[in-house]
Amino acid sequence: MNIWKVLIALSLFAIPAILIWWQLDGGEIYTKTSVPVTVVDELFGTESTEWEDRFVLGLLPSGSDPREMTGVLTLALPFCLIIALALLQLYRAKRRSGSRPDN
């Protein structure tokens, strides 16, 4: 089977799935590993903000946590792979055709 067909098929499934996941997580620009949650005190009725540990996929990492690279890698890897394979295919086609620069 042609590698291009496999790559295109994987990309057609992976890219929309990742974009849907990103939108369901809120479409955040920066990846987050914790989110603020408003907590209401039942006794006094006051509100306070606490941080809940939860991974939210974003387009860019916001810190040094390795989990934050998931967003960047999952979105950038298919595009980089497509570009690399396209350049490799062009190189091979040019090499097979025997075209040489005119001197």
Q: Could you list the residue range(s) of the whole structural domain that residue 76 is in? A: 30-97
Q: How many domains does the chain have?
A: 1
Asked whether residue 50 is domain-assigned, the answer is: yes
Asked whether residue 18 is domain-assigned, the answer is: no
pLDDT digits 0-9 by tens, 17-64: 888 888 888 888 777 778 889 999 888 889 999 999 888 877 776 666
Task: Pick 20 or 65 by higher pLDDT.
Answer: 20
Asked whether residue 57 is domain-assigned, the answer is: yes
Q: What are phi and psi of 61, to 5 degrees?
A: -75, 145
Question: Which H or E element spans position 5?
Answer: helix 3-24
Q: Is the pTM of this model over 0.85?
A: no
